[in-house]
Structure 1
Amino acid sequence: MKRASGVGHLTPFLPGLEGLLGDPDVSEIMINGPGNVWVERAGRLEPREAPALTAAWLHRAAIHIARPLGLDPAARPILDARLEDGSRVAICTPPASPEVAITIRRFGGRAFSAEDLVRLGSLPEDILEAARATLLGRRNVLVSGGTGSGKTTLLNALIELLPDDERIVAIEDTLELRIDSPNCVRFEAGATLTETPVEIRDLVRHALRHRPDHIVVGEVRGGEAADLLQALNTGHGGSLTTIHANNARSALSRLASCAMQAGDALPWEVTCRGVVDGIALVLHVARRGGRRFVEDALEVGGYDAATGHWITGPPEAGRGEEPTPKEMNP
């Protein structure tokens, strides 16, 4: 995939934001329109005055980001780009938005290990041990949470628990994971082949031809869930993925719903049984008051078709006590 310039190269096109673009403590810059800027710093949102940031400047910035990708905001008003430094930019221009809106998510400067998260009080040690036992037992883990809740941070930490001598195939919309495994191949969606976009589902299917011991999907959003569940249930245990959800139980339903989006989807009850067979442990992360923490952990025991309820319980390493929400602010 082609990449636009790094965050620093945006400075000439976003007057008044020079300090923010160079501040490593700012994780996200949200431009709602001319002069309307919000930033996330240490997990908290705060407004920023930017009177010099006019509609004309925002239009120039959108063109500057889109041009290296071979795109034109006038022809394609909704754009997603990855910058050279790994940061992500989302752009929406008229007529899809009244004003040019730009959101910049800076690529994290530090990767946290599982032990780091425990030390920070972000991940209860018993939940870590349950996740470790699950992965080493060649069973699979689903990480759920909302936008910006820390799903990728936790996923990165869990990947480090996988054996170094086993092969990982990682699939992402945008390359964000930091994987140090010596035997890892990485795929990124969005590349083009004869002007046909390569989708996550294409890459999940293709991954099976690269002899993975473990499959990591950065985030499941749609029909690729059906192919992932097939892979998880046919000899690729110890795999990981994330999904947007409000809580751990709803994450299972969301995964099944995504699988149902596939054109060749199986019936709902069959799909739910596939989720039960494919996912052993759900870890749900949340963000409150600017802090990120592991809120819940559930071991998946089954699906009751008569009531439509998932059968779950606390993981083995945590039985006897409820997980206490802990904080993390990576």
Structure 2
Amino acid sequence: MKRASGGGHLTPFLPGLEKLLRDPEVSEIMINGPANVWVERAGKLEPHPAPDLTSAWLHRAAIHIARPLGLDPAARPILDARLEDGSRVAICTPPASPEVAITIRRFGGRAFSADDLVRLGSLPEDILEAARSTLAARRNILVSGGTGSGKTTLLNALIELLPEDERIVAIEDTLELRIDRANCLRFEAGATLSDTPVEIRDLVRHALRHRPDHIVVGEVRGGEAADLLQALNTGHGGSLTTIHANNARSALSRLASCAMQAGDALPWEVTCRGVVDGISLVLHVTRREGRRFVEDALEVCDYDAAAGRWITKPVWGGTEAAREEEQTHTPKEVKA
């Protein structure tokens, strides 16, 4: 993803938002149009008065962000970029939107360890131990959740559980992960010197040539899932990725569906078998009433092709669905 000027450079173009752009407690700034601003603090949305923020100022801000990228909002009304401070910015301008809309997702100054998340009540200790055992056994973890649920925060914490003397190759759309390792290679999608951008799928394939012990994909969205599953099933255990999903079980179906988007996709049942062989543990994070926490954890045991369902085992009490799953599947159905 291309990089625009830092958040500090935006203050002259966004009157009334100067304090927000400097406030470390603000994780997201959402501008819906002139004088219509919302912010997220501590997981809660609240309006922010900005009477001086006019349509003209928003157009100027959009141009200021787009110019370093060699882009023109008038010609390209939808724009995604990364600011110099690591924040992500999404812009939509007319005619794709009635007014200029700008959303800035900021990243806090602190990275939380797994122990921090346990202490804060975001990660049950039983789930942490299951994750630690899974990675130590060179098996793989899928983190699922909705937008802003804390997937990246949990992924950062899990990366710290990987052995210090082993090599990590991390692949992201935007460099958000905080990986403090000497032997870590980081790839970012979107970079290009021509009209053809580098895709996540290109980088997953390329990563295998850099001798990774562990592969970390910031988020799976499409056909790159097929290549990732191939990698997970051919000697790159102890790897991690995230995916958007409503719950832990649907995350498995989403992963399989993404893999099916590949032009050379295998049949559905074969793909599902690849998911079972490639993913051992699913951790689902959620955001509720201002809190972000791991809501569910499922061990992936098998796929029942005849019934079209995943056979899983809850690692922790979790949700009602997980408890029901534990009751309905007999030991014969659950593969060790």
* TM-score (ref. length: structure 2): 0.94
| Aligned residue-pair number | 320
In the TM superposition, residue 5 of structure 1 has moved relative to its aligned partner by 1.3
Q: 1:136 is matched with which residue?
A: 136
In the TM superposition, residue 2 of structure 1 has moved relative to its aligned partner by 4.2
Q: 2:153 is matched with which residue?
A: 153
Q: 1:310 is matched with which residue?
A: 310
Q: What is the CA–CA distance in structure 2 between the aligned matches of 1:263 and 1:75, rounded to whole Å?
A: 31
Q: 1:114 is matched with which residue?
A: 114
Q: What is the CA–CA distance in structure 1 between the aligned matches of 2:233 and 2:72, rounded to whole Å?
A: 42
Question: In structure 2, do the counterparts of structure 1 residues 115 and 324 end up closer, same or farther at CA, with 3 Å as the change threshold?
Answer: farther
Q: 2:94 is matched with which residue?
A: 94
Q: What is the CA–CA distance in structure 2 between the aligned matches of 1:209 and 1:267, rounded to whole Å?
A: 27
Determine if the alignment matches structure 1 residue 47 to structure 2 residue 50.
no
Runs of 4+ in structure 1 over 4 Å off? none
Q: 2:162 is matched with which residue?
A: 162
Deviation string for 1:265-302 (max 9, x for gaps)? 11000000000000000000000011101000000000
Q: Which amino acid aligns with 2:41?
A: R
Determine if the alignment matches structure 1 residue 6 to structure 2 residue 6.
yes
- Where 1:294 maps in the other structure, the secondary structure is strand
Q: 2:300 is matched with which residue?
A: 300
Q: What is the CA–CA distance in structure 1 between the aligned matches of 2:293 and 2:90, rounded to whole Å?
A: 26
Q: What is the CA–CA distance in structure 1 between the aligned matches of 2:167 and 2:193, rounded to whole Å?
A: 26
Q: How does 1:242-281 map to 2 (within 5 A)?
A: 242-281=242-281
Q: What is the CA–CA distance in structure 2 between the aligned matches of 1:132 and 1:102, rounded to whole Å?
A: 39
- Where 1:108 maps in the other structure, the secondary structure is coil
Computed over aligned residues only, the root mean square deviation of the Cα atoms, in angstroms, reads 1.1
Determine if the alignment matches structure 1 residue 174 to structure 2 residue 174.
yes
Task: Assess if the C-alpha contact under 8 Å between 1:29 and 1:39 holds in 2.
Answer: yes
Q: What is the CA–CA distance in structure 2 between the aligned matches of 1:274 and 1:84, rounded to whole Å?
A: 39
Deviation string for 1:77-112 (max 9, x for gaps)? 111111111011000011111110000011221100
In the TM superposition, residue 195 of structure 1 has moved relative to its aligned partner by 2.1
- Where 2:157 maps in the other structure, the secondary structure is helix
Task: Assess if the C-alpha contact under 8 Å between 1:124 and 1:323 holds in 2.
Answer: no
Q: What is the CA–CA distance in structure 2 between the aligned matches of 1:117 and 1:151, rounded to whole Å?
A: 12
Task: Assess if the C-alpha contact under 8 Å between 2:2 and 2:190 holds in 1.
Answer: no
In the TM superposition, residue 196 of structure 1 has moved relative to its aligned partner by 0.9
Q: What is the CA–CA distance in structure 1 between the aligned matches of 2:319 and 2:122, rounded to whole Å?
A: 10
In the TM superposition, residue 323 of structure 1 has moved relative to its aligned partner by 3.5
Q: What is the CA–CA distance in structure 1 between the aligned matches of 2:72 and 2:319, rounded to whole Å?
A: 49
Q: Which amino acid aligns with 1:275?
A: V
Q: 2:239 is matched with which residue?
A: 239
Q: What is the CA–CA distance in structure 1 between the aligned matches of 2:66 and 2:225, rounded to whole Å?
A: 30
Deviation string for 1:52-100 (max 9, x for gaps)? 1111100000010011111111111111111111011000011111110
For structure 1, the 5+ residue unaligned runs are: 326-330
Q: What is the CA–CA distance in structure 2 between the aligned matches of 1:55 and 1:204, rounded to whole Å?
A: 41
Q: 1:328 is matched with which residue?
A: none
Q: What is the CA–CA distance in structure 2 between the aligned matches of 1:95 and 1:305, rounded to whole Å?
A: 46
Task: Assess if the C-alpha contact under 8 Å between 2:25 and 2:108 holds in 1.
Answer: no
Q: 2:286 is matched with which residue?
A: 286
**Percent identity between the aligned chains?**
89
Task: Assess if the C-alpha contact under 8 Å between 2:134 and 2:238 holds in 1.
Answer: yes
Q: 2:21 is matched with which residue?
A: 21
Q: What is the CA–CA distance in structure 2 between the aligned matches of 1:307 and 1:34, rounded to whole Å?
A: 52
Q: 2:67 is matched with which residue?
A: 67
Q: How does 1:222-233 map to 2 (within 5 A)?
A: 222-233=222-233
Q: What is the CA–CA distance in structure 1 between the aligned matches of 2:45 and 2:260, rounded to whole Å?
A: 36
Q: What is the CA–CA distance in structure 1 between the aligned matches of 2:146 and 2:243, rounded to whole Å?
A: 8
Q: What is the CA–CA distance in structure 2 between the aligned matches of 1:121 and 1:182, rounded to whole Å?
A: 30
Q: What is the CA–CA distance in structure 2 between the aligned matches of 1:216 and 1:25, rounded to whole Å?
A: 28
